[in-house]
Structure 1
Amino acid sequence: MTDTGNAEAAFDGQVEGVLDRDALHALVRVLKQRGRTVIGPTVRDRAIVLGELDSADDLPHGWGVELEAGQYRIRRRVDTAVFAHSAGPQSWKSYLHPQRVRQWTADRDADGELTVREEKPQNVSYAFLGVRACDLRAIRILDRVMIGGRFPDPAYGSRRTDAFLVAVECTEPGATCFCVSMDAGPAVDAGYDLVLTEVLDEAGHRFLCRSGSEEGTAVLAELPRRTVDDTTRTSAVDAVREAAEHMGRSMPPVDLRALMRDNLEADRWDDVTARCLNCGNCTMVCPTCFCTTTEDVTDLTGDHAERWRRWDSCYDLDFTLLHGGPVRASKRSRYRQWLTHKIGTWHDQFGSTGCVGCGRCIVWCPTGIDLTEEAHALHQEATGERAPG
């Protein structure tokens, strides 16, 4: 179990080993024996999505993805790679900060007495298998937002504190990935219990595995493994390095915080507004967007009521609704708020960027709006330089 309060701390008891494909079955079995609910990528509904794993057979063996702005498709690979796919429509936020959570219920009996019951967080011990570097960074960002301040969210904390993280270093980035620009991958640096690097070469299909916590070391000790050989280590390092050199997208190599701050009245905001539907898809798939609202529901008798917390989006017209109307009444202001906050003013609130370069917002935008393209266009407009490509 990783230390959520000090995710950056180095673990000085790291143990390494080489696992074959069958060891993934042992890994899932050991985690389940330790009382964990194992969540990982699996193929469902023509997509690679996150779901509960009964065994390693549920993982997407031999499946990859084809991505572009506004496009997503799974495809059969020519090999048996397990983790050679880019981020899907879900992130681990779906489990740590669920889309909809009941907060309390209220019931009135025949005598008119009202009883209110607070909803206690479910006692779930998760093991996340296949957390990519960008998503690992996203979890650390959510930790800072949800439990790192003066008012921690106990529901998030109950799910996160006992979560066991099996990270996977990315060896095959997608066409919409730009984690290198956001210093969020593809190598995994900290905040994990175990990390796998998948290797497929003439020597076979295997995984370089490293522990990053005491529990990670204990789990690795229960798995069938062999000593790390030079060929496996070199292949793993080379694969991650090559992934970093072949990102599908990039941000302009400038201070993005200053770029957003100094160009609030740029003409480019009108251009993107003409294409944006204000649907909020980008905020729903983003692994770090955290905003919520509350809604109260009641039955037809009025004797039972519930309060639910659910995800909200800054694209919603009512998101900034005050007594005189919404603060951000135009589509332009709402898109600008999302982008400038995500890669600009997030620094002022939380001390880092809110973007990890996973590319989900690009893929799942129905009109194919690409925030890297918008950032380059803003830079071009500000400097008169020609945009790449």
Structure 2
Amino acid sequence: MTIDGLQGLLDELRRRGYRVVGPTIRDQAIVYDDLASIDDLPRGWTDEQDGGRYRLARRDDDALFGYAVGPHSWKKFLHPPVLRLWRAEREGNDVRVVPEPVPDERLAFIGVRSCELHAIAIQDRVFLGGAHVDPHYRARREGVFIVAVNCAVAGGTCFCASMNTGPKAEAGFDLALTETVVEGERVFLVETGSDQGGAVLAELPQREATAADAAEAEAVVARTAASMGRAMRADDVHELLLRNLEHPRWDDVAERCLTCGNCTMVCPTCFCTSVEESSDLTGAETSRSRRWDSCFTMDFSYIHGGSVRASARSRYRQWMTHKLATWVDQFGTSGCVGCGRCITWCPVGIDITEEVRAIRETEPAEGDSHGD
């Protein structure tokens, strides 16, 4: 499919009643927002990322998806940062409680990376699995049309290859694109992942892919995997962290950690929230809202008598051990997808892959003791 076909895809999704959302440039970053046309995409731009560093830079070509990931994740659309749950109105001596209606907006996500598909699947298990389903998440999630993009570039903080979450999208999409250049023309190899995706693709200008097209697309993904900026051995991290809860490395990271919560805000899988109530000045109306929260805040673990995790050491340890170890106990999978956002957007550049490596390389021998 050519660039004209990509524009046709956006038009067809809008024709079917979707709000089309994808990558665009705003505030010197690549963020997810409404797309009117392919001109809104970050054509010719890439991102340079390292610990505590993010910069946009010009590419030497006009690639539309030639970047890794920005500060936004698709979580903001499926699990909004602020959500009113209900409001109550006083009418004389009576009080009427009005639940917040579930949304009926249909969203189409353009440019979803493999790590982000895995993140959405993780949040599906959190919000849709088990006996208690989040009705607002379900309403948003059920109507989503997902256009994935296989990564043609690895960010400096990406480590999805070592987490088996990328860079190629394997499942969870309606259509998947691989951006390549064939005989000087920018084209997209398209893979269908659902009947709905096939129906949309049938309405678009396209040609049959050749074996050479498929080989070039595979080469794009292979080059990306080989150029990954970070790696984290994940096969033993659950046991490693849980047997090193008193490792001195936690003190080392606590000296650097600002407990700002940036890592949890940009993480595509973190789901912690707090509940707030507010009322108007007359007392005639009140409401309850759910807001993103973080295990790095003092109030998050506050109970009668104080915070359960009062130190930076305990809060960082809680975040990292939950993300990489006890999340497995809860949901059957790691809570990390290797997107690298927590490394890039940490003001002091704390690197979760380096912290795991440091604990592994300095783990005391069996029988040794170490404390706080």
Tell whether the structures are fold-level matches, with TM greater than 0.5: yes
* 2:277 matches 1:296: yes
Instruction: Specify the alignment match of 1:104 in structure 2.
Output: 86
Matches within 5 A, 1:182-201: 182-200=163-181
* 2:80 matches 1:90: no
Q: Residues 22-72 of structure 1, C-alpha deviation per residue, up to 9 Å, x if partnerless? A: 111100000000000111000111110000111121111111111111111
Query: Do 2:163 and 2:233's aligned partners in 1 also have CA atoms closer than 8 Å?
Result: no
Matches within 5 A, 1:1-389: 19-109=1-91, 111-200=92-181, 202-252=183-233, 254-382=235-363
Matches of 2:84 and 2:11 in 1, distance apart?
32
3-state SS in 1 of match to 2:111 = strand
Matches of 1:56 and 1:85 in 2, distance apart?
16
Matches of 1:201 and 1:265 in 2, distance apart?
55
Instruction: Specify the alignment match of 1:10 in structure 2.
Output: none
Query: Do 1:103 and 1:307's aligned partners in 2 also have CA atoms closer than 8 Å?
Result: yes
Q: Residues 239-262 of structure 1, C-alpha deviation per residue, up to 9 Å, x if partnerless? A: 101111111001136511111111
Matches of 2:252 and 2:4 in 1, distance apart?
52
Matches of 1:297 and 1:218 in 2, distance apart?
46
Segments of structure 2 that go 5 or more residues without pairing to the other structure are 366-372
Matches of 2:57 and 2:312 in 1, distance apart?
36
**Structure 1 letter corresponding to 2:67:** H
TM-score, normalised by the number of residues in structure 2 = 0.96
Superposed structure 1 runs of 4+ greater than 2 Å apart? 200-204
Tell me the CA shift for residue 202 of structure 1.
4.2
**Structure 2 letter corresponding to 1:233:** A
Q: Residues 111-136 of structure 1, C-alpha deviation per residue, up to 9 Å, x if partnerless? A: 23211111112211010010000000
**Structure 2 letter corresponding to 1:307:** R
Matches of 2:232 and 2:204 in 1, distance apart?
40
**Structure 1 letter corresponding to 2:38:** A
Query: Do 1:50 and 1:90's aligned partners in 2 also have CA atoms closer than 8 Å?
Result: yes
Segments of structure 1 that go 5 or more residues without pairing to the other structure are 1-18, 385-389
Q: Residues 208-228 of structure 1, C-alpha deviation per residue, up to 9 Å, x if partnerless? A: 001110100000001100110
Matches of 2:168 and 2:364 in 1, distance apart?
33
Instruction: Specify the alignment match of 2:370 in structure 1.
Output: none
Alpha carbon RMSD of aligned pairs, Å?
Answer: 1.1
Count of residue pairs brought into register by the alignment: 365
Change (3 A) 1:383 1:253: farther
3-state SS in 2 of match to 1:181 = helix
3-state SS in 1 of match to 2:108 = strand
**Structure 2 letter corresponding to 1:133:** S
Bigger mean CA deviation after superposition, 270-279 or 196-205:
196-205
Query: Do 1:68 and 1:362's aligned partners in 2 also have CA atoms closer than 8 Å?
Result: yes
**Structure 2 letter corresponding to 1:71:** R
Change (3 A) 1:73 1:205: same
TM-score, normalised by the number of residues in structure 1 = 0.92
Matches of 1:231 and 1:64 in 2, distance apart?
26
Q: Residues 258-307 of structure 1, C-alpha deviation per residue, up to 9 Å, x if partnerless? A: 11111111110000000000010000000000011110011111111111
Tell me the CA shift for residue 204 of structure 1.
2.2
